[in-house]
Structures are given as C-alpha cells and as structure tokens.
Amino acid sequence: MPEGLSPIEVGRELHEHTKEPHDPDSGNRHSRTVQIGEALLLSLVTIAAAWSGYAAAKWNTESRLELAEAATLRNLATRADLSALSTRNFDASTFNTWFIAFTLDDAKKQAVAERRFRPEFKVAFDAWMATDPFNNPRAQPGPTYMPEYKLAEQAKADALDREAVEASAAGNHAGVVGDDYIRITVFLAAVLFLVGIGSTFKLHTIRFALIGIGSLLLILATVLLLRQPGIPG
C-alpha cells in the first residue's frame, strides 16, 4: 500500500485495477449492427410498400373500370328493355286489330290484320289458335302468354342486366381489394416511421426495440400481402 493513501483511496485504486479494460470497438460493432438492421429493414419495407401501393392503384383502377362497364351495360339493358316493350305494344296492337275483325266476323279484315303480324308473333299466334282458345277454358288469354312468344330484345335486355350485375359485383370486389392493399401500405408506412425515428436515438436498446417492432409489422404486412390476389391483368 502506498504511503500516505487513505483506506478509501486504496479501495478506489483496487477497484480501478480490477475493472476489465474497455473495448472501444464494442460500441462501433453495436452501432454497425443497428445500422445494418435498419438498412435491411428499410430496403424490405420500401420494396413491399412500393408493391402494395402499385397494387392498390391497379385494383382501384380495375374497380372504376368494372363499375363504369356495369353502368354502360345497365344503359344498354334499359334501351333493349324499352325496345322490347315497344315491340310488345306493337304485337298487342296488331292482335287487337285482328280480334276486332274476328268479333265482326270479317275474314278479309282478319287476313289483313294477320299480314301485319311479326313473323315471331305469328308463330305464337298460330300456337295459340291451335289450343282452340274460344272453346277451351284452359287456353292462354292470348298469344303473348304462349311459350312460343319470344322477344329478342327482352332476352338481350335480360342478358345485359345479368352482365351488369356481374360487372358491378366485380367492381365492388376490386374496390375492397384496393382498400386492403391501402391498409397494408399504412402498416408499411408505420414501419418506415419507426425505423426513421429510431435513427434519432443514441441508445442501441431503443433502436433494437424499434427494429423489432418494425420487423413484426413487416411480417404481418407480408402475410396480408400473400393473402391478397395479385395485380389484375
């Protein structure tokens, strides 16, 4: 023990000599590890966010196109339905003319009225007459009630209406998928925020914690991305 040192000073000297030497490279290694982790996480998140944002834009565009097509198909269906209604009114008009001639027992006028029948209506009219409607109580009220009575415009309107319903459903589904991709993009943006603020801290513990939370969010976003349909063609 050196002369002139108090017991407290002696204890301090012994403590200093027994401490392990400080490694200046240890802090640098931790700093490099944190920086590499942050850089890797940022790279993965940037790629995933770019993909998710692009997919969201594509699906939203697909939704708008499908809904626009549905609106167009509905307009065409309405026009075809109006055309079918006009044709039905024409058939009813010609039949009423024939029926008036029939009640007057005027064969010549009946023949003239029959010549005005559309070919498709004439098929239904002949089928109706074959049921002996004036003596058969079970006969249909008129030719337009017969299975043989067909309206091409009405069939077209029904087909267009079905296509419009399908296009509308597809557009709504595309909109939902686009919203899901936007939600995933928000998760990825949260990861970028966490990693970004992590670089402002000096304590490696906090930065590691933020990297861990960001990694969990990235895994969650990746799982959600894998469950989503791909980009529409």
What's the pLDDT tens digit per position in 121-179? 999 999 999 999 999 999 999 999 999 999 999 999 999 999 999 999 999 999 999 99
> Which of 26-30, 42-46, 130-134, 190-194 is predicted with the least confidence, judged by mean pLDDT?
26-30
Q: Cβ(214)–Cβ(195) under 8 Å?
A: yes
pLDDT at 8: 44
Which 8-state DSSP code applies to residue 22? P
In a domain, 162, yes or no: yes
Confidence of residue 5 (pLDDT cuts 50, 70, 90): very low
Residue 117: DSSP 8-state: S
Residue 89: both structure tokens together: 């009114």
Instruction: Quote the CA–CA distance of 230 and 228 in Å, as a whole number.
Output: 6
Residue type at position 163: E
CB hemisphere CA count around 217 (13 angstroms): 25
**The total number of structural domains that make up the chain:** 1
Domain of residue 133 covers 31-227
Position 211 scores a pLDDT of: 77
- Rounded-to-integer distance, Cα 117 and Cα 128, Å: 14
Q: How far apart are CA 187 and CA 44, in angstroms?
A: 13
pLDDT, mean of residues 198-215: 76
Q: Whole-model pTM?
A: 0.67
Q: Among candidates 129, 158, 58, which has minimal Cα distance to 121?
A: 129
- Give a yes or no: residue 20 inside a domain: no
Q: Closest Cα partner for 13 from 23, 26, 2, 25?
A: 2
DSSP H helices in 104-118? 107-115
**Is 213 in contact with 194 (CB distance < 8 Å)?**
yes
Give the model confidence (pLDDT) of 52-89 as tens digits: 889 999 999 999 999 999 999 999 999 999 999 999 99
The verdict on residue 113 lying in a domain is yes
The amino acid occupying position 30 is H
For residue 22, pLDDT over 50 is answered with: no
**Rounded-to-integer distance, Cα 70 and Cα 106, Å:** 51
In 3D space, the residue among 217, 145, 210, 144 whose CA is nearest the CA of residue 186 turns out to be 217
- The residue among 177, 184, 167, 188 whose CA lies nearest residue 232 is 177
Quick check: is 13 in a domain? Answer: no
* DSSP, res 151: -
Structural domain includes residue 40 = yes
Least confident of 10-24, 29-43, 83-97, 180-194: 10-24
Question: Is residue 1 situated within a structural domain?
Answer: no
Is residue 159 assigned to a domain? yes
Q: For residue 33, name the pLDDT band (cuts at 50, 70, 90).
A: confident
